Amino acid sequence: MALLQREYEKWIAELDELIRENEKLTREELASALAYSLENRKQLLKLMSMNHFDIEMNSRPDNLTEFKVAYGNSIKAVKRCLDKFCHEMNEQDKEDFLYAYFPFIYGIYPYAIVTDEQKEAMEKANVNYVYHSIYELAYNCAKKLLIKDEIKDE
């Protein structure tokens, strides 16, 4: 739990740096920046793809609370990005983005990081799997969510 908390805190710091260093970003640039920030957080994504229910059920309440603070702050950090770079989005659009993007990123790792054994098994099973990087998966999702809202705003 502590490792997951630290990984969230590193991601938050990267998102806060994005806000500080950029006065303006298009929605496509923001999608790219969010994707790069996740590409830098492979350990976070790996931990996120594990069974959180069991991890949290077996954690001390104080450790669980500390983790939830970091988790909540990561949502707030992405929201700050939306507030700064997508100011024309209303609060419901921002909430819709957050609650589509966060569940999505919990599942990125197993789609982007595949062992040789998994590749071989998929070939034998005739699974025509297309391999994508963390960046590609995160960018495509964020872009579709952000551009969808941009078109609606016009």
Mean pLDDT score of the chain, rounded to an integer?
91
Average of pLDDT values for 26-41?
96
For residue 88, how many other CB atoms are within 10 A of its CB?
10
| 48 neighbors 109 (Cβ within 8 angstroms) | yes
**Cα–Cα separations (whole angstroms), residue 23 to 85, 96, 142:** 8, 24, 20
**Residue 85 scores a pLDDT above 90:** yes
pLDDT band at 149 (very low <50, low <70, confident <90, very high): low
Provide the token pair at 56.
């949290």
Q: What percent of the chain has pLDDT over 70?
A: 96
**Residue 108 scores a pLDDT above 60:** yes
pLDDT at residue 34, rounded to an integer:
97
Cα–Cα distance measured from residue 142 to residue 52, given in angstroms and rounded to the nearest whole number: 23
Provide the token pair at 71.
């988790």
| 27 neighbors 150 (Cβ within 8 angstroms) | yes
Highest mean pLDDT (candidates 19-28, 45-54, 57-66, 128-137)? 19-28
What is the pTM (predicted TM-score) of this model?
Answer: 0.86
